[in-house]
Amino acid sequence: MNYLLAYVFLNEFVIMLIKIVFLFKVGLFSCLIAFQAYSQSSGALHLSTGIQDFTTRDQGFSSMNYGGIRTASKAIFQLNKAHKTELFQFEFAYGNLKNRIGNSLNGMSIGLLNHTFYHRNKPLERKLHWGWSNQNVFHIRSHNGFSNYSLRYDYLTAFGPSARYLWPFQWEEQRFEWETIAHLQVLGFQIKSGYIGADPEGFSEENAATGNFLKSMKPFIIGRDWSMGLNSSLYWSLPSENSLGLRYGLSMMALNEGQPVSRFGSALELVLKVKLW
């Protein structure tokens, strides 16, 4: 009887040992795959801040343009892989804007812009890369002269083509890189304040949040609506493999569903590009 118990125990022990070894092998194999992938990629973080000359018009407020200088900041995470480069750009801008008769509004923009560019296994040669982009941006503005209906906003999610031109060069034994990125949004959806008030058409306090979201959505279609941007940056490579740069960016948007909204901005920013790995 004791012999039988010892046999069963030994058998269970061996099975457990086999399972542990198998799990160890799977874990090790996964780590190796991940390490291999990691070693083939590189990451960088771009931090930038500057000023933006911004003009906007919301027919729901006024037929006049509001303009002024806003502060603008961006944080971009860049992931370089063997055959593609991905950029995840968080952007924020805020400022007080005035029209020609002195009335003012406060405007704030928060956005997430993603680019994916496809290329051969030499991303740092002088080259044009094509890809696609996804823009998600929220604009809110508060009019300082109106007692009622003084708040309006719009939100856009759209997809479209994107292009990047890279030109690394040397000058006075220093390494520089010129980068221009352009995007044009083609198709997506928008949510805008209503004809008079802040709430979008279709919004109701009776509906659930999801219902309101779906009822407030309107298509974003290129031709009627526009959203595009162009950023050109000049980087100076430091010995630490980080870079300092200057970026000039243009952005424009026109959402013509309901009360037309249009905006145009040109920004100048200082950029610090930090190599992560």
Residues that bind another protein (CB under 8 A): 55, 57, 62-65, 99-103, 127-128, 143, 145-150, 165, 167, 180, 182, 194-197, 201, 204-206, 226, 228, 230, 232, 250, 252-254, 262-264
Query: Among residues 34 and 196, whose Cβ is nearest to another protein?
Result: 196
* 142 contact partners, CB below 8 Å, separation of at least 6: 105, 106, 150, 151
Query: Among residues 43 and 168, whose Cβ is nearest to another protein?
Result: 168
CA nearest to 83, candidates 45, 46, 131: 131
Query: Among residues 100 and 122, whose Cβ is nearest to another protein?
Result: 100
Q: Provide, rounded to whole angstroms, the least separation between the CB of residue 263 and another protein.
A: 8
Task: Write down the number of H helices and E strands in the chain.
Answer: 2, 12
Q: Provide, rounded to whole angstroms, the least separation between the CB of residue 119 and another protein.
A: 13
Q: Provide, rounded to whole angstroms, the least separation between the CB of residue 214 and another protein.
A: 16
* Local structure of 247: helix, strand or coil: strand
* 181 contact partners, CB below 8 Å, separation of at least 6: 87, 115, 162, 163, 164, 165, 230, 231, 232
Q: Provide, rounded to whole angstroms, the least separation between the CB of residue 224 and another protein.
A: 13
Token pair for 170: 């040397």
Query: Among residues 112 and 228, whose Cβ is nearest to another protein?
Result: 228
Q: Provide, rounded to whole angstroms, the least separation between the CB of residue 251 and another protein.
A: 9
Query: Among residues 3 and 171, whose Cβ is nearest to another protein?
Result: 171
Secondary structure percentages of the chain, helix, strand, coil, to 5: 15, 60, 25
